[in-house]
Amino acid sequence: MATVTYDHVTKRFDTVVAVNDFNLEIPDKEFLVLVGPSGCGKSTALRLLAGLEEITEGDIYIGDRLVNHVPAKDRDIAMVFQSYALYPHMSVYDNMAFGLTLRKVPKEEIDRRVREAAQILGIEDLLKRKPRQLSGGQRQRVALGRAMVRDPAAFLLDEPLSNLDAKLRVQTRAELSKLHQRLGTTFIYVTHDQVEAMTMATRIAVMKDGLLQQVGAPQDLYDRPENVFVAGFIGSPAMNFFQARVKGQREEMHLDIDSFQVPVPASWLDDLLPYGGKEVIFGMRPENICDPECQPCSTEAAPVTAMVDVTEVMGSEIFLHLVADGKAFMARVDPRCRARPGQEIRVEFDMARMHVFDPETEEAIGSREKR
């Protein structure tokens, strides 16, 4: 059980900077999810912690111990790999026992721990099988079990669900959360899937191009993204972005998006005052755009007329692909809405939920509380 600390960690491969001045403190018992698009350095960050890659600069601590030069085997961590990485020539039992055998744990103790883990994971019947005789989901459990028996200071999981089919993935997500509660160990979980991050994490760290973008609780990241990247990455379908210009003074202030204009809510006036006459990036999540015919928005609704391009029926909701004067965006509306492709409809933007970003720095504008 331990805190994990990344202190100004940088990793370079020849000329590529995979992880750039990475700072993160992961308290004991946290379920931290490192999320980002592929190639963002999240796996490298995890492998640095595991001791599978050498750190170029900076320090990593597990608890109070500096582990920069500690080999992987002595770091007291366990890892679940994307391909599960089961030893193909060993039975499930031996796979789970291997790490303990190497540590010269007594036979009876090994047996006890393996059976306990197997029972928790529901794989007691598979102990004599070889990995190739198992289904994907079963292999995944064995990989988890192999990590569990070690009773490590931290669990590292590298995209462990990406080889499972969609249904099994949803099921395993919940089971992983349960396991985390039960074991009470630090989990560090890497994924490119923001849904996995949102559903399981106690905290999420978003990475892009080797740089840490934002760290926070899932809801916090969704409600208050600190830059354009995080805003677009968290949430599905992704947030709509519009190039806008701040026009007018005070009560007259509005955002001009060429094809349409939306008024700025009173609470935003102070924040946008310095941007008067300047360009900003205006963000609106699809779920905050609604069709007033069937489900009106909040009080601060701004009407926008658009053409329906495509509709995607999901059953519980409908995704509308809309076009307003050449600018495409998406709305996520109630299935009772009757919009048809080719129709012109009037939708409403929920301005209380708007996001504004500086086009230069791509950072969010406005005080945190507001967003």
Partner 1 sequence: MVGRRWWTPWLWLAPALALLGVFLVYPVVDTVRRSFLDERSKSFVGLDNYRFIIDNPQPLVSDTHSALLNNIMWLTLFTGITVALGLILAVLTGRVRYEAAAKSSIFIPMAISFVAAAVIWRFMYEFNTDIGTVNAAVTSAGGESTDWLRDTGSPQTWLTERGPDTMPRPIQINNLALIFVGVWMWTGFAMVVLSAGLKGISTEVLEAARVDGANEWQIFRRIIVPILSPTIVVVATTLVIQGLKKFDLVWVMTGGRAKTDVVATLFYKEAFRVGDFGVGAALAVVLLLWVLPIMVISIRRFQFQEETR
Partner 2 sequence: MARRHPSTPDGSTVAAAPPLTLALGTARRLAGRLPLHLSLMALMVLWSIPTIALLVSSFRDPMAIASSGWWNAIREPFDLTANNYQTVLEKQGMARAFFNSVIITVPSTVLVILVAAWAAYAFAWMKFPTRNLLFLLMVALLVVPVQMTLIPVLRLYSDVTINAELPILGGRIFGTGSYMGMWVAHTAYGLPFAIYLLRNFFGSLPRDLFESAYLDGASDLRVFFRIVLPLSMPAISALAIFQFLWVWNDLLVALIFLGGEPDLAPMTVKVTNLVSSFGTNYQVLTAAAFISMALPLVIFFALQRYFVQGILAGSVKG
Instruction: Return residues touching partner 2 (CB under 8 A).
Output: 8-10, 17, 20-21, 23-25, 54, 56-59, 68-69, 208-215, 226-227, 229, 360-363
Of 23, 54, 87, 363, which one interacts with partner 1 (CB under 8 A)?
Answer: 87
For partner 2, the closer of residues 208 and 285 by Cβ is: 208
Residue at token pair 């399981």: 200
**Measuring CA to CA, how many Å separate 58 from each of 22, 153, 298?**
9, 21, 49
User: Pick from partner 2, partner 1, none: which does 135 bind, CB < 5 to 8 A by kind?
Assistant: none
User: Judged by CB, which is closer to partner 1: 37, or 99?
Assistant: 99
Query: Is 141 in a helix, a strand, or coil?
Result: helix
Beta strands in the chain (DSSP E): 4-13, 16-26, 31-35, 57-62, 65-66, 77-80, 154-158, 186-191, 203-208, 211-216, 240-247, 254-257, 260-263, 279-284, 289-290, 301-313, 318-324, 327-333, 344-350, 355-357
3-state DSSP helix/strand/coil % of the chain, to nearest 5: 30, 35, 35
Helix (H) or strand (E) holding 143: helix 136-149
Q: In this complex, which beta carbon is closest to partner 1, that of residue 98 or of residue 319? A: 98
Check binding of 364 to partner 1 (CB under 8 A): no
Give which of partner 2, partner 1, none residue 5 binds (C-beta under 5 to 8 Å, depending on kind): none
Q: Residue 347: which of 331, 336, 334, 326 has the closest Cα? A: 331
Of these partners, partner 1, partner 2, none, which one is at the site of residue 9 (CB under 5 to 8 Å by kind)? Answer: partner 2
Which one among 17, 72, 170, 323 touches partner 1, defined by CB under 8 A?
A: 72
The least CB distance from residue 84 to partner 1, in Å, is: 8
| CB of 303 or CB of 359, closer to partner 2 | 359
Side chain identity at 36, as an amino acid letter? Answer: G
Name the token pair of 173: 């997500």
Interactions with partner 1, residue window 132-171 (CB under 8 A): 146, 150, 156
Only segment of 32-40, 99-107, 300-308, 359-367 that touches partner 1 (CB under 8 A): 99-107
Least gap, CB of 123 to partner 1 (angstroms): 17
State which of residues 2, 79, 153, 154 lies at the interface with partner 1 (CB under 8 A): 79
